[in-house]
Amino acid sequence: MLACSKITSSDQVVALDILIPDSGHIELGDTLRPLGRALNSQGDSVAAQIFWATLDTATIVVLDSTTGVTVGKVVGSGRLQGRVGLLRSNPQAVVVAARLDSVRAAGAIRDTVTVSAPDSLSDSLLIRVFAADSEPPAGRQVVYAATTYPASGPTVKFVRGGTVTTDGTGLAFEQLRLSPGALPDSVVVTATVKRFTGTQIPGSPVTFVVEFRP
């Protein structure tokens, strides 16, 4: 929100309410469309055209100033701003990340855990995310989920909480630890990687199988 100018009528725009989809994150070459409302002094919407511009043309490019459709030009951070007349919004951050190409397991997809071992800990369930360009796909979210067979309650838990991020080379991993309770025969673990828009990338989810033995 940005406010303030001298109020001369009830329809005068005094503030801009701006929303950037997906928390301002896009992949290289993708577009986003910001949402904005012009508000009067009562906080009601006013019919006014918002015009959009980038403050960092090297990183993001506004394709249409009336709709605000913006494309990620290079990996990095940029700022987007809306305007009605002389009233301008606060700069809105847009983060351009490497465009993900695919994901696959970066190690064994099956593991056997001996329950009598001191920690009953699985090996690392390792995946690697690949980018479609030369930029490393660092800091991308990977969500691990576990299903026990037979289903017998929460007999395992993730060491790192189930949600991890890729490192500078695109690698991410999780591990399973056995919890008190019934002993499962096996656990199927999926590692899911999505774009900021919510669509899964090719190869996602990656599936692992962890077996448990006395």
Phi, psi torsion values for 181, nearest 5 degrees:
135, -165
Claim to verify: residue 12 and residue 26 sit in the same structural domain? yes
Claim to verify: residue 159 and residue 88 sit in the same structural domain? no
Claim to verify: residue 19 and residue 63 sit in the same structural domain? yes
When pLDDT is averaged across residues 197-205 and rounded to a whole number, the result is 95
CATH of the domain at 157: 2.60.40.10
Q: What is the pLDDT of residue 9?
A: 58
Q: Which among 55, 71, 97 is the end of a domain? A: 97
Q: Which among 97, 132, 157 is the end of a domain? A: 97
pLDDT band at 3 (very low <50, low <70, confident <90, very high): very low
Claim to verify: residue 149 and residue 120 sit in the same structural domain? yes
Instruction: Return d(Cα 25, Cα 185) in angstroms, integer.
Output: 41
pLDDT band at 147 (very low <50, low <70, confident <90, very high): very high
Compute the Cα dihedral for 7, 8, 11, 12 and give only its sign: negative
Claim to verify: residue 75 and residue 109 sit in the same structural domain? no
Q: Which among 44, 65, 97 is the end of a domain? A: 97
What order do you get walking across the sheet with 45-46 strand by strand?
A: 2-3, 15-19, 35-39, 45-46
Claim to verify: residue 144 and residue 189 sit in the same structural domain? yes
Claim to verify: residue 119 and residue 31 sit in the same structural domain? no
Q: Is beta strand 163-165 parallel, antiparallel or unpaired with respect to 171-174?
A: unpaired
Claim to verify: residue 110 and residue 93 sit in the same structural domain? no
Claim to verify: residue 78 and residue 111 sit in the same structural domain? no
Question: Residue for token digits 């918002």?
Answer: 50
Claim to verify: residue 84 and residue 168 sit in the same structural domain? no
Q: Enter the pTM of the model.
A: 0.84
Structural domain that includes position 165: 100-213
User: pLDDT (tens digit, 9 = 90+) per residue, 60-72?
Assistant: 999 999 999 999 9
Claim to verify: residue 66 and residue 135 sit in the same structural domain? no
How many domains are there within the chain? 2
Claim to verify: residue 87 and residue 104 sit in the same structural domain? no
At CA 210, angle to CA 208 and CA 214, rounded to 5? Answer: 175
